[in-house]
Structure 1
Amino acid sequence: MALWSRVGTTVKRLLSRTASVDLKRYEALLPRVGALEPELEKLSDTELTERAAAVREAGELDNDLLVEMCALGREAARRGLGERAFDVQLLGTMGLLTGHVVQMATGEGKTLSGALAAAGYALRGKRVHVISVNDYLARRDAEWMRPIYDLLGVSVGWVEPALTADERRTAYHSEVCYGAVSEIGFDVLRDRLVTSEDALTQPEPEVAVVDEADSVLVDEARVPLVMAGSVDAGVADEEVAKIVRRLRVGLHYETDPDGRNAWLTAAGASVVEKSLGGIDLYDEDGSDRLAGVNAALHAHALLTRDVDYLVRDGKVRLINASRGRVAELQRWPDGLQAAVEAKEQVAPSEHGEILDSITVQALLARYPRVAGMTGTAAAVAEQLREFYELEVAVIPPNTPNVREDLPHRVFTTPTRKLRAIVDEIREVHETGRPILVGTQDVAESEELAEKLRKSGLSCIVLNARNDAEEAAVIAQAGAHAVITVSTQMAGRGTDIRLGGADGEDAERVAELGGLHVIGTARYPSSRLDDQLRGRAGRQGDPGSSVFFASLGDELVLAHAPDVPEGIAADEDTGEITEAAAHRQLNHAQRVAEGVDLEIHRNTWRYTRLIEHQRAELLRYRDDVLRHDTALTLLREAEPDRCAELAESLGEQKLGQVCREVVLFHLDQLWADHLAFLTEVRETIHLRALAKEAPLDEFHRTAIPAFRKIRDEMEKRSAKTLLEAEITDDGVDLARAGVRRPTSTWTYLVQDNPFDSDAEQALKKVRGMLRKKRS
C-alpha cells in the first residue's frame, strides 16, 4: 500500500505540474535548513557576514551548500527585513540557484526568493544581473533587498536612465546589479561602440536572474533594442497622408483577414496616382512614392489610436500589447513611425542610421547561466525549453489557493456580453466586494467605464493613459466597494492587498468574499488569462474570477471564425451555455498561441545567423579595442605612412589613431550590413514567389556580404590613414571622414507587424472590428 501511495503521489505531482522539475530533492533539504535556524540566530551580524564569506571558499554546489546558503539567506532576511522566508520561498531560491525558471503564484514572495538566489550566486563568485521589466521595479527591489545583501557581505547596485557612465560602471561592477532589460541591453550596445577600453561599463556577463521571466523571455523576445546615430527628423509625405485618409476599405484598398497587411485595389491605385500628379506607382520612377503610400496605408488601415498607440504630449506613444502600458522608448521602424505621426498630424520624431541592435533573446543568450521567476511559466514551458534550454519548476503556494474560478460565460455578441458585464459588476458591487475588471485595450477600458458611469457606478480606470499612477491605483484596488477597470497591466510586480494599501478593512473584505476579478474577453494566451485571475487569491485570501466572452470577440473572429451552426442562446440575454461555444473559444486561443510560437520560432531562424555574425565581428572588435591589432594591420598595409606618423606622433599615439580608424570603419560597415539585411528581409517574400525557400535565400545573400566586411575595412582604414592630415593637435581624423554621430539615442523597435513574412507579430484590426460590431 505504501508503494502504491508513493506512486499515486508521484503521478498526481506530474499531472498537476505541467513541464515541471521534480521538487523532491529540494523539499528533502528543507528540514535541514530549519535545523540550522537556532544556531544562526545566536550569531552577531558580523559573525553572520563572516559565515557567509566562508561560502565563497566552498567547492561545488551540492546539497550541503544549498542548505547553508538558504539558511543564511533566511536569517539575513529575518534580520534585515523582518521577514522570515517561507519554505516555498526557499524552494524557489533553490530552483533559481540550480538554473531553472520557477513559477510562484502572485503574492508568494518572488522578490525575496530572487534576492536570496542572487546573493547565493554572488557568494559563489559570479556577477549577477537581476533583470526587471522596468526601471521602477529595478530600483525598488535593489533598495528593498539591500539589507539582506549587506548582511551577507554582497555588494549591490542598480542602473537606470539617469545614471552617468561612471555611476553605471560602479553599478555593473557590484556583485549584484538590478536593471530593466532594456537599460541593460542599451548599455551593451553603448559598450559596442566605445573606442577606449576604459570607456567600457559592463564586465563580461555571468548570471541573469530574470523577474517576470515569461514576459521578458517570451513576450519581448523578438523586440530589437536599437542604438541609432542622429541624422535628422523622420520625414513622412504629408501629401500622401492626406490622400490616404480619403480612401475607403473595400473600394480603394483591401485588408487580409488577420489584419496584418493592406494593399491598394486598382481603383485605389488610380486615385492615388491621379492625386500625385499622374505618376505610375509601379514604375521604377514611382517606387519611392510607393513605399511612402504603403506605409501611410498601413498606418491608416491597420493601426488604431487608443489600441495600438496613444497620442500624448504631442507625440505618438506605442502601447505594449502584452502589458497594456505605454511602451517607453519604443517605436516602429522609421517609415511606419513617420507615417503614423503624419496620420495624427504631430511633429516627426528624430530618425537616423541604426548603428547596432540586439534582440532581447540575443541579449539573454550572452549569459552562461540564466534563471527566472514568474507567476505563469508552465504555459510557455515549451518555448523556454526550445529557445533557452530552461526547465520550469512549479512551486506550490505557501497557503492553499481558495480562489473560486467560475465557469466562463459566453454570449452571442459583444454588445450583449457588455450588458451582462455591467449587470455582474452592479450585482457584486452591492455586496461591498472590491472588483477588478481586466479589459483588452485602452479604448475598451474607457468604453466600459463610460457604461458604468451611465449606470450610476463609479470606477477607477487604469490604462496606458495614466500608467504613472499604477502603483497608487493598484494599492487601493482591494479596498471595500472599489471598482477598478484596467487593461492587462493590472499591476504586475505589485500585490493587491485586501482592504487597500493599509489593509484596515482586510477582514471585512475577506468576510464578503475578497476581490472579484472579471475578464471582459479571453486573451490571445491562456497565460494572460491566468495572470489576470492571479490578482485575486493572494496568500490564501478568498477571491473569485470569471471571464466573459462572445462569439464576436476579436480572438474568435481572427483565429476560429467558423463557429458551428445551430448553437442555441437565451433569447433575452444572448447567453450560450452549450459546450460547443466553450470549445470554440478554447480552440481560438490555442490557434493564437500556436501562431505566436511559430512567429517566435521563425524570427529566431533569421536572427540566429545575424547574431552569429555579430558575435564573430565583436570578437575581432574586442581584440582591436584591447590590443595593438589595428596598428599591426595598418603597419603591414601602409608601412611608410605608419613610420612617418610614428615619428611625429610617437608609438602610443599612433596606436590610438590606428585603433580609432579601424573601429570607425568596422562599426560603419556593420551598420551598413544591418541596413542591407533589413532590406533583404523586407523583400525576401519575393523569393518565395519564385519557389525558393526565403530562409535559404536569406543565408545565401547574408553570408557572402558579411565575409566582405574585413577586407573592405582594411582598404578603407588604409585609405583614411593616407589621407589624414597632421596638425599641431595630431591627426585630423574628422577631415578624413572619421566622424562618429554628434549624438546617439536608444529605442526599441516595435516588431513591424506588416512585414510580408510570418515572423513578425500579427496585429488584429481591433478598431475596424469594433466599428463593425457597433
Structure 2
Amino acid sequence: MGARQSRNQKRSVAIVDDATSRIDALASLDDAAVAARARTLTAGGELADPAEFLAVLAVASQRSLGLTPFPVQSQAVLRLLEGDVIQMATGEGKTLVGAMAATGFGLMGRRVHVITVNDYLAARDAEWMRPLVEFFGLTVAAITEKLDAQQRRVAYASDVVYGPVNEIGFDVLRDQQITRRADAVQAPADVALVDEADSVLVDEALVPLVLAGNQPGVESTGQITDVVRHLREREHYTIDDDRRNVFLTDAGATRVEGALGIGSLYDDEHIGTTLVKVNLALHAKALLIRDIHYLVADGKVALIDASRGRVADLQRWPDGLQAAVEAKEGLDVTEGGKILDTITLQALMRRYPKVCGMTGTAVEATDQLRQFYDLHVSVIDRHRELRRFDEADRIYATAAEKNRAIVEEIVALHATGQPVLVGTHDVAESEALAEALAERGIDANVLNAKNDAEEARIVAEAGDLGRVTVSTQMAGRGTDIKLGGADETEHANVAELGGLAVIGTSRHRTARLDNQLRGRAGRQGDPGLSLFFVSLEDDVVTSGGSGESVSAQPDDSGLITAKRIQDFVGHCQRVTEGQLLEIHSQTWKYNQLLADQRIIIDERRARLLDTAQAWEELSRRSPERAAELADLDHPVREQAARDIMLFHLDQEWADHLAVMDDVRESIHLRAIARETPIDEYHRIAVREFKELAQRAVDKAVATFETVTIDADGAHLADEGLARPSATWTYMVSDNPLAGGGNSVVSGIGNLFR
C-alpha cells in the first residue's frame, strides 16, 4: 500500500511539473480554443494526456475565476481523477481542486455529484465555481433543502451537481416510492466526489438515512409524561455508565403503577402499550437534553446533528420518541410515522461506479475508508510550510478546574488582541462559556445550531483583531478563517500577534476531530496556535479509561503535568477510537445483507416501473378480472396494475425493515444462548426476505380482484391502501453494540464557573 502510494505520488509530481511547463504555450489560445483542446483530450472518456489536461484546467481557472492553481492543487486534481481520497490541509484550496476534478469528469462524459456536508456549502461552491464549469460548456447546479421536486429534477440533469449528502440520500429514498418513472427527480450519476470525506463517509455513516410516512404512532400521553417528570434518578430509575439506556427500578415501576391506577406495567395488557409509552417518556426525560440533543424553536422540537453541531432539518426521532420529547416540552404532539425505507451511507456510495473525495484529515480514517469503501488515501503536501504551534494538552483533575482555566486562558489571549476560536462540544457548553466570558467583559461571537444561518459572517470575522468566537463543531468545516477579518486588512497585525489561537475545551472521541479543529489555524503558512484543555472527568477519559484508575498530584489550580497522565489521556482517546471502529464495523456487517436485499428490490421496482410486467403478472394470475377491464385504455390498465404491484412491494419491504429492526433490537440476547448474533441476524434476514416478493404478488392479486379500477385508475385509497400524504426523515443512532437501536449518547458538561 505505502509503496504503491509513493509511486503514484512520484508519478503525479512528474506529470504536474510537465503540466506547469505547458501553461505558457496554451496561454496564447483564445477561450474557445482552450475549451476545444480540453474536449479533444477527453474525447474517448479517458485522459489522453494528463499533463496537457491539467495545464488546460489551470489556464481556464485563471481566466474564469482569477485563480491560478498551485502545483499541489493540480497534483490533488490528478489523484481525484484516479479515484483516491486526498488529504489537503485547511486553506490549501480544496474547493477549486474539487471543481477542477468535477469538470474533468464532466468532460469525460460522466455526471458528477459533488457531495458536501450542508446546504450552505453546496449552494456557495456551485455558484463560486460556476464560471469554471461553464467555461467548457458544461452545466452546474446545487441541490438544497428548499428546492421542490421540479427544481430538483432540473438540477439533477446538470453535468456537475453539488448537494448535501442527506439531500441526495433522501432523494434516492423518495425516488423509491414513485409509481411513474416521470416522477423521479434524480438522474443517474457516475461519480461521487465527496467533500469532507471523513466526516461524510465515517462520522455520519453511523446514522442511516430513514424515510417515514405519516400514520398514527405510539405517543406518551400527558398523564404519563407528568408521572415520569417526577421520577428521581437512582431511586426510580437508573442510567447505564455510557448514558445510552435508562431503566425503571422496582420502586419506579411501583410509583408509576400507583399514579396510573394500574395493577402491573408488565401484565399482558400493558407491556406492549403503557410500558412502551412510559419507557419513551423516561428516555426523553433522562437521556435527551435540551440544547444538547435538540432545540425548541417556534413551538417545535428541532434535532441537533451531533456530528456537525447543526440543526438537522426535517428530521425526527422514530418510534414515539419525538412525541415523548414534544410532550416533555409541553408542545403539541405531532402524529407518528411508519418507516418506509432506509439506506446507509455505504449503500448510497455503492450506487456510484466511482467514488473519490477530499478532506483535511483523511490519514487517521485510512482504515475505515479502505475497509468500508475500498478507497485509498493520498496526502498532498502543503503549498507553504506549516507555522502553527500545537501546544501540549493542559490536563486538570476536575472539569470545574479545567473550565476556570479555559476562561483565564481566553482572557489572557484576548488582552493581547490575538483572535481566539474556541471549539466546544454542544450548544449548552458554548452558551455557558460565552456567559462566563461576558462576566469578564468579553463579548464573544457564538456559533451553534441556534444561529447557523449566520455561520458565514461569524466564521469570516473569527480571525479579526481581538475577536473571540465560541463555536460547536460547525466551524470545523468548509470555510477558511482569514487573519485580519474577511478582507484581511489587519493580516499583518494579527500575524505579528501569533495568528489565530484555537482552543479545544476537551479532546474529541477521535484525534481526527481534534485535528479538524486545530486545522482552523495556520492556513497558507500563517502563524497560529492550538491548545486543548482536558480534565480527568471528561467523557473521552471516563469512557476510554473505564475500569482503569490513575493517581496524580495536581498543583493548586488543579493542573497535572506528569507525562504518564498525558500518555493516559492519549490511551483513553485511542480506546474510544477503537470502540468507534468496532461500532462502524459491526454496523457495516449488519447492514450489508439488507443492502444486498435492497438491490434486488430496486431491480424488481425498476422492472415494474419501466415495463408491462405488472399487468402481465396480474392478468395471468386473474384472467377473469383482466377480462372485465378490457374496455379501459391499455395505458390506464397498465398504470393501475403498476400502482397495485408497487404498493404491495413497497409495503412488504417496509414491513421487512420493521421486522429486521425488531430483530436487531433483541439480537444481543442471542449471545446469552451461545449463538453468534451476526450469524443469527443473517439467517433470519435471509429467511424473512425469501418469501417477500411472492407475498407482495399474492396481496396484489387480491387487491386487483376487489379494488375499483376505472378510467381514473385504481382507487387504492378506497380500500385503505393509500400511500402516505406526507413524508419526513428520521434521525436514529445505529449502534448494534448498545443493545438499543434508538439509544442516544448524552453529553452534559459542567458549566464554566
TM-score between the two structures when normalised by the length of structure 1: 0.93
Code of the aligned partner of 2:696: M
| 2:490 is the counterpart of 1:490 | no
Moved more, 606-615 or 724-733: 724-733
Show the counterpart of 2:204.
Answer: 220
Show the counterpart of 1:34.
Answer: 20
* Alignment partner of 2:727 out of 733, 745, 754: 745
Show the counterpart of 2:501.
Answer: 516
Show the counterpart of 2:32.
Answer: 46
Would the alpha carbon gap of residues 640 and 215 (structure 1) be closer, same or farther in structure 2, given more than 3 Å must change? same
Code of the aligned partner of 2:747: R
SS of the residue corresponding to residue 416 of structure 2 reads coil
Would the alpha carbon gap of residues 249 and 185 (structure 1) be closer, same or farther in structure 2, given more than 3 Å must change? same
| 2:381 is the counterpart of 1:414 | no
Would the alpha carbon gap of residues 360 and 14 (structure 1) be closer, same or farther in structure 2, given more than 3 Å must change? closer
| 2:624 is the counterpart of 1:640 | yes
Would the alpha carbon gap of residues 640 and 297 (structure 1) be closer, same or farther in structure 2, given more than 3 Å must change? same
How far apart are residue 447 of structure 1 and its match?
Answer: 1.6
Show the counterpart of 2:275.
Answer: 290
| 2:190 is the counterpart of 1:206 | yes
Code of the aligned partner of 1:712: R
* Alignment partner of 1:675 out of 645, 658, 675: 658
Show the counterpart of 1:618.
Answer: 602
| 2:135 is the counterpart of 1:146 | no
CA contact under 8 A between 2:111 and 2:189: conserved in structure 1?
yes
SS of the residue corresponding to residue 733 of structure 2 reads coil
How far apart are residue 104 of structure 1 and its match?
Answer: 0.6
How far apart are residue 559 of structure 1 and its match?
Answer: 2.1
CA distance in 2, matches of 1:424, 1:492: 25
Show the counterpart of 1:6.
Answer: none
Code of the aligned partner of 1:156: V
Q: Note the residue ranges of structure 2 that are not aligned, 5 or more in a row.
A: none
How far apart are residue 200 of structure 1 and its match?
Answer: 2.1
CA distance in 2, matches of 1:531, 1:729: 57
Would the alpha carbon gap of residues 631 and 270 (structure 1) be closer, same or farther in structure 2, given more than 3 Å must change? same
CA distance in 2, matches of 1:717, 1:446: 56
Code of the aligned partner of 1:486: S
CA contact under 8 A between 1:440 and 1:488: conserved in structure 2?
yes
CA contact under 8 A between 1:661 and 1:738: conserved in structure 2?
no
Write out aligned runs for 1:728-767 (5 A). 729=712, 731-741=714-724, 743-751=725-733, 757=738, 763-767=744-748
How far apart are residue 692 of structure 1 and its match?
Answer: 2.3
How far apart are residue 334 of structure 1 and its match?
Answer: 2.9
SS of the residue corresponding to residue 33 of structure 1 reads helix
Write out aligned runs for 1:381-392 (5 A). 381-392=366-377
CA distance in 2, matches of 1:486, 1:199: 41
CA distance in 1, matches of 2:396, 2:361: 28
How far apart are residue 161 of structure 1 and its match?
Answer: 2.7
CA distance in 1, matches of 2:743, 2:560: 29
How far apart are residue 684 of structure 1 and its match?
Answer: 2.3
Show the counterpart of 1:4.
Answer: none
How far apart are residue 501 of structure 1 and its match?
Answer: 1.2
CA distance in 2, matches of 1:136, 1:399: 28
SS of the residue corresponding to residue 342 of structure 2 reads strand
How far apart are residue 152 of structure 1 and its match?
Answer: 1.8
* Alignment partner of 1:379 out of 347, 353, 364: 364
CA contact under 8 A between 1:596 and 1:761: conserved in structure 2?
no
| 2:43 is the counterpart of 1:57 | yes
CA distance in 2, matches of 1:248, 1:736: 48
Would the alpha carbon gap of residues 526 and 758 (structure 1) be closer, same or farther in structure 2, given more than 3 Å must change? farther
SS of the residue corresponding to residue 695 of structure 1 reads helix
CA distance in 2, matches of 1:748, 1:332: 5
How far apart are residue 37 of structure 1 and its match?
Answer: 0.5
CA distance in 2, matches of 1:724, 1:298: 43
CA contact under 8 A between 2:636 and 2:711: conserved in structure 1?
no
SS of the residue corresponding to residue 312 of structure 2 reads coil
Show the counterpart of 1:344.
Answer: 329
Show the counterpart of 2:451.
Answer: 466
CA distance in 1, matches of 2:728, 2:228: 31
SS of the residue corresponding to residue 403 of structure 1 reads strand
- 1:717-764, Cα deviation, whole Å (9 max, x unpaired): 2222221335464554443454222x22231423167x7746868754
Code of the aligned partner of 1:611: A
CA distance in 2, matches of 1:732, 1:307: 46
SS of the residue corresponding to residue 319 of structure 1 reads strand
SS of the residue corresponding to residue 323 of structure 1 reads coil
* Alignment partner of 1:135 out of 119, 124, 134: 119
CA distance in 2, matches of 1:50, 1:624: 42
Show the counterpart of 2:65.
Answer: 81
CA distance in 2, matches of 1:180, 1:14: 32
| 2:699 is the counterpart of 1:713 | no
How far apart are residue 562 of structure 1 and its match?
Answer: 5.2
CA contact under 8 A between 1:410 and 1:549: conserved in structure 2?
yes
CA contact under 8 A between 1:127 and 1:174: conserved in structure 2?
yes
Show the counterpart of 2:250.
Answer: 266
How far apart are residue 55 of structure 1 and its match?
Answer: 2.7
CA distance in 2, matches of 1:759, 1:609: 20
- 1:441-483, Cα deviation, whole Å (9 max, x unpaired): 2111122222212222222221222111111111111010111
CA contact under 8 A between 1:20 and 1:392: conserved in structure 2?
no
The CA RMSD over aligned residues, in Å, is 2.2
CA distance in 2, matches of 1:344, 1:559: 33
Code of the aligned partner of 1:88: V
Code of the aligned partner of 1:744: A
How far apart are residue 555 of structure 1 and its match?
Answer: 1.6
Write out aligned runs for 1:136-535 (5 A). 136-232=120-216, 235-287=219-271, 288-535=273-520
Show the counterpart of 1:10.
Answer: none
How far apart are residue 411 of structure 1 and its match?
Answer: 1.1
Would the alpha carbon gap of residues 726 and 88 (structure 1) be closer, same or farther in structure 2, given more than 3 Å must change? closer
SS of the residue corresponding to residue 480 of structure 1 reads coil
Show the counterpart of 1:606.
Answer: 590
Moved more, 114-123 or 707-716: 707-716
* Alignment partner of 1:108 out of 83, 92, 96: 92
Moved more, 387-396 or 558-567: 558-567
CA contact under 8 A between 2:521 and 2:530: conserved in structure 1?
yes
CA distance in 2, matches of 1:624, 1:393: 43
Code of the aligned partner of 1:751: S
Would the alpha carbon gap of residues 731 and 510 (structure 1) be closer, same or farther in structure 2, given more than 3 Å must change? closer
TM-score between the two structures when normalised by the length of structure 2: 0.96
Show the counterpart of 1:596.
Answer: 580
Code of the aligned partner of 2:464: A
SS of the residue corresponding to residue 485 of structure 2 reads coil
- 1:135-162, Cα deviation, whole Å (9 max, x unpaired): 1111111111111111122221222233
Moved more, 329-338 or 52-61: 52-61
CA contact under 8 A between 2:320 and 2:336: conserved in structure 1?
no
- 1:684-704, Cα deviation, whole Å (9 max, x unpaired): 233333332222222222222
| 2:570 is the counterpart of 1:586 | yes
| 2:560 is the counterpart of 1:576 | yes
How far apart are residue 167 of structure 1 and its match?
Answer: 2.5
Moved more, 225-234 or 456-465: 225-234
CA distance in 1, matches of 2:645, 2:548: 62
List structure 1 segments (4+ residues) > 6 angstroms apart after TM superposition.
Answer: none
Moved more, 173-182 or 347-356: 347-356
Would the alpha carbon gap of residues 284 and 685 (structure 1) be closer, same or farther in structure 2, given more than 3 Å must change? farther
Aligned residues: 752
SS of the residue corresponding to residue 501 of structure 2 reads strand
Would the alpha carbon gap of residues 124 and 727 (structure 1) be closer, same or farther in structure 2, given more than 3 Å must change? closer
